[in-house]
Chain A
Amino acid sequence: MLHRIRPKQRLLFAAIAVVLIGTGTFVAYKIKKSKRPMSAPPVSTTFKKKDFDSKNVIFSIHNDFETTTARGISADKAVSGTKSLKFTMSNEFSPSIVKPLAELKNYTEVRQIKIEIKSWARGDLGQAQCLFNIENKEGISVYKTDKPIVPGKAFEWGTQSFVFDIEEKLLSADYFFKFQLWNKSLREFYVDDMEVTFLGAAGVNSFLRSNFLFDFESPDSVFNTQAGFIKQGTAHSGKTSFDLSNGEEYGPIVTRQFGDVGDLPSKKISISLWVYPLTENASVELAVSLFDKNDKGYFWMGKTISAPLLPKDQWTKVNASIDLPAEGPVLNDVVQVLARNKGKTKLLFDDLEIVYDPMKQRLGNSSTIDPNLFYQKQFVGEKNKPPFPTFLLTKVELKNNTGTSIAPGAELTSNDLLLPGDFYADKNGFDELLCIQKGAQQLYSYSVEEQQFKILWQNSNSTDSIWNSSNEFYSGDFNADKKFDILLYNPKTKNWGLINFDGKTWKVIEQGNNPPFNWIVRPESATNEVIAAEDILYPWRKTNTASLLLKLNTSTRFDLKLIEQTGASFTILGNIDFKGYSADHNPKYYEQVTLVSGRFISKEKYSLLVVACNCADKNHKGANCSLFEQIPALPNSASLYELKDE
């Protein structure tokens, strides 16, 4: 009594709802061989295909049982050669296929295992299974799963594929992947040409488009053969739509290979379309068809929406979401999405949206923390392992700080090299900020009285040899004279120079060739369990026994952490986030962010200058943007942040 639970069935229905809902009907077929159901919409796949799978195959094993000496090898029948593997009452298991991951050069890229077999049976195979087991080097199973073996047509050879998605946490060099067929119900049947393929995440680092909107406003090669239907007139958006006012049955057809839209085959396809019936009794079907590499259709499903949900002379949006078969699709397969004028009435289509969803999981391994520890207030974090607490940097209000400008006439970008240091002996002990831009340099200092940065020095002589673009620049007290220097270093000639600011200009105080090895520390030389090669470290605070640093990693996201260094030991203290910014313009959301920490507004305390910009470059990788972009929802900015209550 008095408790609240939702039936498990609701979960179940949540999963299937997307394909079963509505008076709009879903029809699904698995197309066998070349037969097509009478009203099936698969149309055509005749276009030049790419070979995604071959790029994606990391390793494959083929067993045609011709040379195998295992129990059950039979010459009764075979697909290839003369032998196959015969399962009987007394032959329960196939020989195992075992692959140590350590033998695969690119084992960390494995994302999917596909097993294909040919089988022959007289009838039902009972509970026959394809087993997949991962064992560690001690032989202990760390993961196991299975899929049922389903016979094809009796007395004929048929093909069946089993696809297993692989989580990254299972990709250890110590693991062994084992595959085996189990004749669990002890039936008699034959298996031949067993092939195990390790598929990788082809193009995992290239972000493929998987969301598409076709508004029919400009020519699109996708509709080359249907261009005649795209006409000006009534449109949901813009001026053109897909015109079926002649009662033509087939509307826009979008045909692609899975490899064009993802590094894994889609598991679900969502479609939306605006429909404008010109007459009564409209009926529209949104459908998906799948074809294998030989253009053989093997699946289609459609959702039909009919009157009265499609009233005449008005735009109505129709949606469908279609789950694709769990087994089977590979990157080379062709997926065809189409909108069908099922009622063959007069109507217009516009704004076709297609989302190809591989239903990818997040990167990383699941947390093993027991949630009960939180509720019992017994959670103790493990050193250098998430979750970490979050420290919030608060935006410092600066006068004349608008957009990317930190002082009048001082526009910064995230391409700029920003070097902090107490370069000017003005006795306040604050750091100045040297900004090195292509063809121009400025030195800024903070005025406590005016609460703003001011330009202390600037240079726009692009031929100035000091600021030669072939130089690298570093700040610090390199010569131990208790003054901040700028180190110039030409990596090609290995020439170096130290310059100091005298209040008016920069002067060379030392120079040479091959700087001392400890002047320029490359991050990769200091990597450890906390610091990765691509990390950037920023000084933050010193205690009697330790140094606090900020660590930035942008390889997968803007990931800023506060870490503590004690001798050679590093400890992650927490995540750094921001507050006080306007609207939702959190610096971590920007495409290119440059940070510089310094004692800009206090002699003791560090603050962090953040220059956050978005970049219009195609395939921008986070640095050296050639064309900055002003996104209204996320305007570029330069701001100063500090950690309060340190």
Chain B
Amino acid sequence: MIKSISKHILIFSCILMLILSACQNDKQEETAIPESCTEFSIQNFDPINNYQRDSTKHKSIFLDYTNAIDGFCIPSIRQTENGFFNFSFDIKNTGKSNQKFYYKIFYQNESYKFPEYDSLKKGEHEFAEENFYGSWEDSTITFVQTAEIPSDGSFHKIQDRIRIAGNPRNEQRYIQRGENQRWQRNPRVGNYSFMLVVCTEAELKNTPPYIQNIQKKNKEHFTSPYYFYLFGDGKKQANKIATVSATTLKVIAQPNLGSGVYIDEAHLDGTDTPYTGPVDRTNYCATCGHDTNLYKNAPIQQFINYVDASTKFENIPVIADVVKDNYTQMDYNWNRCFYKKEELIPTIIQTTKKPCETVVSDPVEKKITLRNPGTKFGEWKKESVGIITRHGFTYGKYRMKVKMAELLSKGGVWNGLTNAIWLMTQSRDSWNFRRTCNKDGYMKTYWGGTNDERVPNVGYSEIDFEILKTPPYCPDNAFPPVYKNQQANNHDVNDWNVSFPNEITDGNNDQITVACTNWDMACHDPKNFGIYCNEVAGLDKTFYTHRWDANYRALTEKKEESDNELFGSEFFYFEIDWQPTRIIWRIGPSPDKMRVVGYMDDQVTSIPNNQMLLIFTQEYHNTKWWPGTPYTQENIPFPLNDIVGEVYDLTIE
């Protein structure tokens, strides 16, 4: 992040130098020193004069989740007296006669953007149009005309207002059934800049329509006004001043986890098809359910995993608390070895049949508690549990303070759960398509096989933390681990009680695997797209990525960590830092002690640029998904007791 900020400072410095040297009429800092061009001067541009008046130029605001399901407004009506940021500037007519001037204010998210200027191409960066910038929500308001400013040698104050909202370009892509679905392109979190552009009437006529009205495109593409005025043709205009305020606004999302959990009754079976079966509402309450208030205000929804019938397996008929009862490898070996087929329990990984039963939002402690329910004879089940946010974002540093379930017994046996914190596409509909994959397209579906059709655009994206017991795949000299055969000979302990290879135990039974994955849908565009094990350098380290083959949709890195540290402590932090050109996975005991466990960049994987939601799950996987796993799901007991996880905080910034 420090690098990122440095980069932005560098960009601003460059901009400043260019402006000063070339035109002398564009400056970054508002100051009493006026900025001038032939016909006028301006000074004292203040983009936010009605919020945090006493604070420095670096203001911050938390997103207001009240009634925000249709999209965020920054500020909301509860954050300023009028629900807008008031801005102002002083203008002096230095021309020979009285005249009217024209102004327009732009904002842009600076934390998660592509640079406007591509120094190699010597033009606008090809992805700069993806940056989140905007102006007044009504894009038909182009430049606003001032009252007639007398040529009296004095400054005259201009006052107006602006707010940041979703779909600021009013793009058709996000308009459905005649309604602007601003939530489909929510404002990004992070730092915002504000740019004021003032010009004469003659210069306005020289301003292209796609800059006056940012809804319009220039040859099928949007042009960033930041590029136009700071690097492009607008920079050459003699009678305009484009000034970027030194005042910035940091936008942070921190949903109140005590505000309730919404139940989407239309998706209770986790599929896309509307659910029409019966709904058990016996556990509905004021903080969990389906009512209007929760629909409008709950930031979280219960997540129902989709369970594929192929996950059916035959489980050993054992009910035990692997972690608390200190289930040992000998227990695992015996139970794995000696049961006959007819004694096994055919099972499919389950999801809740009673919404709100296993997920509780606590308004007092502002936390969410989840539990994988324990099981008993005759009701065997391995039931996943999860929550998902309801407000999508593109990019952001997602940091969760959680207490997730411990996964290993003291003897190092895994309880079969995968603790997951992950981002997933908010929708696979076309409004949420990823950037076009140019080379040969994305794999069309995320569930299909290797012969799936390739298409230029898909809506699927996923970035994962998945924490479970599985071996690293890279480097490839040690994979797959060599597991000894068991012989079902009850008269020789050594025949059935086989030891694991040293790379699994490694003298330490506490190691759990943190798997970091980006689902790039096998887009071959990245310059260093690779298969099998490959190195990627970043943050002064070398990371090993792994992909099964050229059509495999996900790229994974793995790191061994202590189960006790991650899940045995009171809480722990997990962070997915999703940036336009890279993804960084961090974990740590506190926000100031985070360490990197995964890193990928756009040279090795296609970084998603669509809107995603954050999910927290404690889920059971079929271990066939994880080759080389020492403990297979069907040989791990059904859970005896509830397995509890808690989410204390989610901050996206």
Contact = CB atoms under 8 A, between A and B. Distances in A.
B315 to A, nearest CB: 10
A14 B476 contact: no
Nearest to A579: B325
A379 B482 contact: no
A6 interface: yes
Contacts of A309: 475-477
Contacts of A3: 267, 270-272, 304-306
Contact of A1 (B272, B492, B549, B622): B272
A580 to B, nearest CB: 12
Chain B interface mostly: loop
Interface string B489-532: 11111010110011100000000000000000000000000001
A374 interface: yes
A241 interface: no
Given A207-B489, A381-B378, A2 B449 contact: no
B483 A270 contact: yes
A459 B435 CA distance: 90
Contacts of A317: 477-478, 502-503
A386 interface: yes
B344 A557 contact: no
Contact of B491 (A211, A321, A377, A615): A615
Contacts of B447: 5-9
Given A305-B477, A367-B346, A377 B483 contact: no
Contact of A386 (B319, B342, B480, B548): B342
B624 interface: yes
A414 to B, nearest CB: 12
Contacts of B272: 1, 3
Contacts of A20: 532, 548-549
Residue among A13, A309, A592 with most chain B CB within 10 A: A13
Interface stretch (A117-125, A214-222, A354-362): A354-362
B201 interface: no
Interface string A619-633: 011100000000101
Contact of B338 (A310, A319, A370, A557): A557
Contacts of B480: 17-18, 21, 270, 319, 321
Given A3-B271, A361-B341, A9 B448 contact: yes
A389 B380 CA distance: 11
Contact of A592 (B388, B473, B488, B491): B491
Contact of A364 (B337, B342, B347, B386): B342
A320 B628 CA distance: 12
A272 B483 CA distance: 10
B533 interface: yes
A305 B625 contact: no
A309 to B, nearest CB: 5
B617 interface: yes
A244 interface: no
A517 interface: no
B130 interface: no
A557 B489 CA distance: 8
Given A4-B306, A362-B339, A369-B346, A591 B475 contact: no
Contacts of B448: 7-9
Interface in B314-370: 314, 317, 319, 328, 330-331, 334, 337-348, 350, 353
Nearest to B445: A7
Contacts of A465: none
A271 interface: yes
A10 interface: yes
Given A317-B478, A379-B379, A386-B343, A586 B331 contact: yes
Contact of A355 (B270, B378, B484): B484
Contacts of B424: 2, 4
Contacts of A7: 445-449, 553
Contact of A2 (B270, B312, B476, B503): B270
Interface string A372-389: 001101010100011111
Interface residues of B, number: 99
B341 A1 contact: no
A165 B246 CA distance: 75
A568 interface: no
Contacts of A21: 473, 476, 479-480, 532-533, 546, 548
A519 interface: no
B476 A371 contact: no
B548 A318 contact: no
A521 interface: no
A310 B548 CA distance: 22
A211 B485 contact: yes
A207 B493 CA distance: 12
A409 B628 CA distance: 50
B428 interface: yes
B619 interface: yes
A1 B426 contact: yes
B388 to A, nearest CB: 6
A370 B312 CA distance: 11
B490 A622 contact: yes
B69 to A, nearest CB: 14
Contacts of B386: 4
A17 B502 CA distance: 21
A370 B310 CA distance: 15
A59 to B, nearest CB: 25
A34 interface: no
Interface in B282-328: 301, 303-306, 308, 310, 312, 314, 317, 319, 328
Contacts of B411: 584
B450 interface: yes
Interface in B422-471: 424-428, 445-450, 452
Interface string B220-240: 000000000000000000000
Nearest to B452: A9
A535 interface: no
A588 interface: yes
A387 B450 CA distance: 39
Contacts of B271: 3
B416 to A, nearest CB: 16
Contacts of A386: 317, 340, 342-343
A333 to B, nearest CB: 19
A583 B304 contact: no
B552 interface: yes
A584 B377 contact: no
A144 B264 CA distance: 44
B533 A23 contact: yes
A302 to B, nearest CB: 14
A366 interface: yes
Contacts of B343: 364, 367, 386-387
B82 interface: no
A501 interface: no
Contacts of B347: 371, 374
B485 to A, nearest CB: 5
A4 B548 contact: no
**Top 8 A-B pairs, shortest CB-CB distance:** A22-B476, A364-B340, A3-B306, A364-B341, A557-B338, A584-B328, A3-B270, A270-B482
Given A583-B328, A614-B493, 19 more contacts: A3-B270, A4-B270, A10-B624, A13-B548, A21-B533, A22-B533, A24-B477, A208-B487, A310-B477, A317-B503, A319-B482, A353-B482, A364-B341, A375-B350, A377-B379, A557-B488, A558-B490, A588-B334, A589-B330
Interface of B: 264, 267, 270-272, 301, 303-306, 308, 310, 312, 314, 317, 319, 328, 330-331, 334, 337-348, 350, 353, 377-381, 386, 388, 411, 424-428, 445-450, 452, 473-485, 487-493, 495, 497-498, 501-503, 532-533, 546, 548-549, 551-553, 613, 615, 617, 619, 621-622, 624-628
18 contacts: A2-B424, A3-B271, A3-B304, A6-B625, A9-B450, A11-B622, A14-B627, A20-B532, A317-B477, A318-B478, A353-B482, A366-B342, A371-B347, A371-B348, A375-B379, A386-B343, A387-B377, A591-B491
